[in-house]
Structures are given as structure tokens and as C-alpha cells.
Structure 1
Amino acid sequence: MEYKYQLIILGSDVAEKHHILGRLMEKLKDLGLPKSILKIIDSNNITDEYLGNQPAFGLYFGDIEGDHKDLDICQKLIKDGTMILPIFFSSKEGAFGKEIPCILANQNGIQFKENELDRIANIILESFELLRSTRKIFISYRRNESTSIAIQLYEALESYNYDVFLDTHTIGKGEPFQDELWHRMTDCDVIVLLNTPKFLESHWCKEEFAEAGVKQIGLVQLVWPNHDIKNIDSSSHISYPMILKADDFVDNIFNNKDRSKLVDVIVEEVITKVESVRARNLASRQDNLITDFRNIAEQCGRVVTVQPEKFLTEDIDDTRIVYIPTIGIPQSTSCQSAEIRKELYRHDKVSVRLIYDDLRIRDKWLNHLDWLNDNFKKDIKTLKKQDFKTWLQQR
């Protein structure tokens, strides 16, 4: 039986669903995944196509007149434990309650807007474990130039359910400051860089930028008015500059570290850009990890195969070893996801290794992951980059 991710489209037959599906297909392309791994199901073919033992996610499109459809299907999916995202359209007070049926009243919904397309597509990918569900952002800035805007973006991104790193708000008392900063940067999806005129005059800001290059972390750069972006070489990054003008700041104040604020429309644009960059950057880092592992495997005379779903396999005797590229710091949820997706690996006996880049991850975490390897499941373990060659030379 072929493993598929089932996207179930319910509710009103509206044009907006085609916009969402189009953006979702773009995201799959960005991730280097074939469109064939996704099965689109609607109320007309759900009886024949839906499989309860394969991953599923539902979109329910509301009706502005309150004509609710597919309620019996919603009830069945909820009983199966399938998440359904309600999408409504009107901005009027009470629109969600009118457009979305009561059976979905306890689900968090999203009002459809063009600038929410990336967010909706990413939510679908997260539900299928094709895009990690942790949404981690790192804000890089110079304190004596842009503190107030760093705090403004921290609060705005947090309100969109991002886990945001801001040095003054995130590092706990007694933690080694620089070690924790590098650790958190390693685990982020995108860096929002406030490119002020003297950003690179700060030693630590320059170090953060260099570290982003080494780790190949994508940048959303906010370039201050009258500042030449050429003084930052972004050729090695997935980098998206936003050139700011004076009137992008409240009252045209852009050079006061304590009083400057971005206007709301620019803040919204930053959030949209971060959402757009996220999948592409994670895919790029995943590809780099796969390439590094394959090159070392070839040097060691091992034959590994890249599967369409972006993991690697190696068959030894009666066991299939599956190598899953893991961006950032492997978590227990990463292991759980690997266990849930066992059917995807197409073999009776499977051993899983979550491969990851351990550069700049704090020693206490690396020691913890080593301890888990020694004390828990033998068939799902982590494998850090510095140990790739040692592991691959064992056989």
C-alpha cells in the first residue's frame, strides 16, 4: 500500500481553496518533495479514498450565509483524531460563529487573507511532519541602534505563535550568555536581522552574521533608510532584504534606539516574509545535511539512497537503516514522529538514525542526547555530524 498524506477539503466550494492548494504545491516544490505524496480528497470521493491509518489533515471552508455542509464527514474525522482547520472569510464580528459549524467551534480558525497563504500552507505541512512544528525565530540587532524595534518585532512574532529569541528577553539568569545565544541560533528557522548603519561595527553582531553563514540559516534583512546593503555580503545565504524608508517608521523616527517603531503594515510584511522564507530555508539546510552525509558515506564505501520524502536508506542484511535529516536540535517529538511514520520506510525491520549538525549546540544537550541513545529505544537514535564518519566506518 502506497503511503500518502491525505488533505481533505470540506465545506463551501470557494475559489480560495485553489489559492491555498497552489501555494501548498509551491511549498512542496521548495521542500524538494514530489506532489505525488499528497492525496487530495473531498466529500465526493472520501468514501473510496480516505484511509484511517494514514496521516490526514482537513480544511473546512466556511459559508458567509451559514449554509454548513459535510457535517457527518467532520464528525467522523474528529472521531478519528484528524485535525480540521476552519477557514472563514468575513471580518465582521461573529463571522466565525456564523460561517463555521458548531461541531468545529472549538478549533482555532483563520480568516482567509492573501497574506495568510504561506501560513496556512505551512500549517498543513507541519501537521504532516513535513515541516517541523516548532517555529523558531532569532532576532539579530545592535542594542544601541534598534532596541525598541527588536522588542516590537519580538512581541509581534510571538503573537503569531513563533518561539522568538531576543537576547534581553530569552536567556535565563545564570546561563552562559554566548553559549546559549549560539545554541538558540543553531535551532532557529529564520533570522530577522536589523541591518542598521553600524550593525557590523559591533563585534558580536558581526559574529552572529558570520555564524548564520556557517549554519546556512536564512535571513530576512530590514535595511535602515540611507544605509547601503552592500556592506553585508549575503551571497552564501537565503537572504531577503526589505529596504526601509523613513515613512515606514512611526513619525519618521528611525534613528532612536528607544523610540523608533515600525508602522503596522511593515510589521505585517515582516511576518509574512518570515513565513515565506521558513520552508525554503529549512529545505536548504536539510539538503546540505543530506549531501554531507552522502559524501562521507561514499568515502566509506557505503551505499545510501535518498528517498523522495527526503530521508536516506541503507539496507544491511535484513535491516533497513533510515537516516532522517533533522534541522536544529533533535527533540523527543522528532523520535516520536519517526516512530509514527514507520510505514513510510517500507521494510519489516527498521533502525532509525536522526542525523543532525551538532555545531554550536551546547554540551549539556549533546550529553543528554548521548544519554538517550544509551538508555532508550535501540531502533531510534540520534547521530551527530561529527560522528558520521565513525559510524559509517563501523561496518
Structure 2
Amino acid sequence: MGGKDVRLDALKAAVQARATDLGIDPSEIAYLDENTFSGTYDRKKPAFGIYFGNQNKTVPQPLSQLEQDSIIIAPVVTSKTMVASEIPSELQHINVVEVGMDGDNIPRLASLVFETFRLLRRERGIFISYRRKGSQPLANRLYEELDKRGFDVFIDVRSVPPSVDFQAELWHRMSDVDTILLIDTPGFREGRWTKAELAQANLLGIQTLHLLWPGQIEDRNFAFSRFVKLLETDFSGPSPGRGATIKATVIDSICDLAEELRAEAMAFRHAHLVDNFCDAAQDLALATTVQPQRWISVELKDGGSLAVVPAVGRPTSDRINTIFDAITNHTSAGTPIWAIYDSRGMHDNWIKHLKWLDGHLPIKTVPVGDLPSALKRLLA
């Protein structure tokens, strides 16, 4: 890390909280600076470089070593208009992360750390659930701000093409998001689509950032919700729903919370996949070990082994490639590799596509529901 300033303490706190949400011991994360780098840096361990832009534009000596090792470096600026003033020419070709001295956007920077370590997906899906009457302007504002922050935002009026089966597309897209942003306005809970969406979210264990409109109360039937109570003072202008506009600071706070909730959501769905696999393996008297890198090694009865990687969300060919590249560093040549996933809600044609890929790639995709039969076939 270079050019340390007050934002570093905020980043460390956010990284520690995110690690805890992911079930990782925060003490396993080391922070190196110019003074500790040479005696502590280990090229065999994952690393991520952060340069806090400053008016002096000093270049710490470790930067060249990180670049030589192809380590990702994130230049941080107080404003994107300050790149030339705060970032040395050696780093100006890299896209910057904008983080003000008040710590805004620190959650995004913390997520970037874990995405680089492959502990969070780089795909950042979020699903906005709302009732068009009364909350369409807020839904649009959130869409625009989340999109600007790099989220892949699903919102019905913009995300479903014409002539597509709406409900099938809804479930398919929902199966791949990290979180749901729910705008709970009066009458929202009585809607037909609302009940179906929330039932599906609970079924998949997707975490929900549940925005309670002024006057709305928490409902514990929404099992995986983190509730946020909106106040009338969060809006400017007339009463909420009658032309009032939500304040920019509140929008920023909601987007930061959505970023923070990703780790908790990913950890829960990852644990669901791990638990299902270990239960299926235990029924067949197979010994399993969850490795520090969060994949599962299995000792087979013939003396061989199996590597199993939980894949949260919808497997794609590029995600499968990433899994393969990551896991082959930890397994012996010829070790079979499985990517396990939850197929509930996915289009049938997508599952057929995955089965087709299984015949062409050195890694197999196995839905959770097929684990017992797949393990039996492997042992036969």
C-alpha cells in the first residue's frame, strides 16, 4: 500500500467486517507498507496493492515488485477529476477507485480486495423488487446509482426483453444475483408478484436489503432480510410517494449497505452448497475436508481424490474456467474436478447447456439435487 492516509483505517475496518461475514479469520490478512514490505511479502500468497493518491505523488519502492509479479494495484483518488494531481504517471493507465476523505465508497474498495482474492465473485448482481405505483422513481434512482457503481442490476421494466416468458426470466435472473433490494411501500406485500418473488428468494437463501417505506413495519416472514427504515426526513419535497425525492446521502448509504451485504449473502449460499455436498458424501462414507481456499477435497475409496468447488449462482464457461485455473494449483494432475451449484430457478435450456459443456471441458458441473446419484456413479 502506498500513500497511506486516514482512509486506510476505514478500509481495514471494512475488510475485517467483510472477512468475518465470509467466515474468514481476519487475523489471516496482513497489511504491508513501505516499511514492512521487504521482510514480509510472500510471492506465494495472494496479494492486492492499493495506492492512496496524494499531492506529492510519491512512488513507493514496492510498486515495481508488485507490477513485476502481476499483482493488481488499485489507485485511489479523492475525486476522478484529481487523477493527474494525485496519481503518479506510472499508475495513471489503471482505472481508479474514487474514495473521498470521508470514507465514501470504502465498501466497494473492500469488495474489490476479496474479488481479487476470488473470495467474492467479480459479477455483482442485484435484483430490485418494487411496486411500480409510488416507488418507480426511487427504483429508477437506485438502478442508476447501482449501475454507476458497477452492479449488474435487474429491474423488470429495463431487464426483460419483449416476448420473453416474464416469470421464467425472473427466476433465472434471480438465481444468479448476490442480493435483492426490496422497496416495501404500502400495498407492496399484497402484490401477486411480490409474494412469489419473496418466496423464491427465501427458497434460494438470497439475502434481502429490505427498505421499509415510512410507516411500514418489519415482517419476520421475510426470513433473509436486513431491514432499513426510511424516514420522512430522508426525503425532500412533499410527502414520500407524492413527488418527494429521496436525498442523495440516503441513496449512497443504501448502495453501501448493498455492497456490504454481498459477502454475507455469498457466505450463506456457499455454506448451503458445502453442507449439501458433505452430507451426500457422508452418506456414502467418504471423507471430506473443506480447504482454506473454500473448496472441498474428497478421499475416494480407490485411493484417488476428488476436488469439489461450490459455485454460487449460475455457472458460465468463463466462471468454470476461473474455477479450473484456481483449483489446478492445489490438486494433482488427473484429479477430477466438480463445480457444484444450485439449479433451482434456472432455465432448462441453461442446464442443458451445462450438460453439453460437461462433455467438452475438464471440469464437471453437478447440481445439488444430483449429488447423491453423481457420487454413486463416480464410485461405481
Partner in structure 2 of residue 199 of structure 1 = 188
Q: How does 1:293-332 map to 2 (within 5 A)?
A: 293-316=277-300, 317=302, 319-332=304-317
1:386 to 369, 374, 377: 369
2:233 to 247, 258, 261: 247
Give the match's secondary structure for 2:20: helix
Partner in structure 1 of residue 353 of structure 2 = 368
Q: Residue 99 of structure 2 aligns to which amino acid in structure 1?
A: Q
1:389 CA displacement = 1.1
5+ residue gaps, structure 1 = 1-8
Partner in structure 2 of residue 356 of structure 1 = 341
Q: What is the distance in 2 between the residues matched to 1:344 and 1:188?
A: 28
Normalised by the size of structure 1, how large is the TM-score?
0.88
Partner in structure 1 of residue 8 of structure 2 = 17
1:161 to 128, 150, 167: 150
Partner in structure 1 of residue 83 of structure 2 = 96
Root-mean-square deviation (CA, aligned residues, Å) is 2.2
The verdict on how the C-alpha distance between 1:48 and 1:331 changes in structure 2, with shifts beyond 3 A counting, is farther
Task: Tell me, yes or no, if the aligned pair for 2:7 and 2:103 is still in contact at 8 Å.
Answer: no
Task: Tell me, yes or no, if the aligned pair for 1:302 and 1:392 is still in contact at 8 Å.
Answer: no
User: Is residue 140 from structure 1 mapped to residue 117 from structure 2 by the alignment?
Assistant: no
- CA offset digits 1:229-286 (Å, max 9, x no partner): 33x523x31x221111223223133224xx4532211111110110111111110111
Q: Residue 112 of structure 2 aligns to which amino acid in structure 1?
A: I
User: Is residue 127 from structure 1 mapped to residue 116 from structure 2 by the alignment?
Assistant: yes
Q: Residue 247 of structure 1 aligns to which amino acid in structure 2?
A: T
1:365 CA displacement = 0.8
1:51 CA displacement = 5.0
Partner in structure 1 of residue 59 of structure 2 = 69
Task: Tell me, yes or no, if the aligned pair for 1:246 and 1:252 is still in contact at 8 Å.
Answer: no
5+ residue gaps, structure 2 = none
- Name the count of aligned residue pairs: 375
Q: What is the distance in 2 between the residues matched to 1:28 and 1:263?
A: 31
- CA offset digits 1:136-191 (Å, max 9, x no partner): 00000112232222112111110111000001100122221110001111111110
The verdict on how the C-alpha distance between 1:268 and 1:15 changes in structure 2, with shifts beyond 3 A counting, is closer
Q: What is the distance in 2 between the residues matched to 1:196 and 1:362?
A: 30
The verdict on how the C-alpha distance between 1:249 and 1:45 changes in structure 2, with shifts beyond 3 A counting, is closer
- CA offset digits 1:335-362 (Å, max 9, x no partner): 2222322365254543221111000111
Q: What is the distance in 2 between the residues matched to 1:281 and 1:148?
A: 27
1:197 CA displacement = 1.2
Partner in structure 2 of residue 226 of structure 1 = 215
Partner in structure 1 of residue 99 of structure 2 = 111
Task: Tell me, yes or no, if the aligned pair for 2:281 and 2:288 is still in contact at 8 Å.
Answer: yes
The verdict on how the C-alpha distance between 1:384 and 1:260 changes in structure 2, with shifts beyond 3 A counting, is farther
Normalised by the size of structure 2, how large is the TM-score?
0.91
Q: What is the distance in 2 between the residues matched to 1:347 and 1:18?
A: 41
The verdict on how the C-alpha distance between 1:14 and 1:153 changes in structure 2, with shifts beyond 3 A counting, is closer
Q: Percent identity?
A: 29
User: Is residue 274 from structure 1 mapped to residue 253 from structure 2 by the alignment?
Assistant: no
1:291 CA displacement = 1.0
Q: What is the distance in 2 between the residues matched to 1:334 and 1:254?
A: 42
The verdict on how the C-alpha distance between 1:227 and 1:38 changes in structure 2, with shifts beyond 3 A counting, is closer
Q: What is the distance in 1 between the residues matched to 2:33 and 2:232?
A: 48
Which segment is superposed worse, 336-345 or 348-357?
336-345
1:87 CA displacement = 1.8
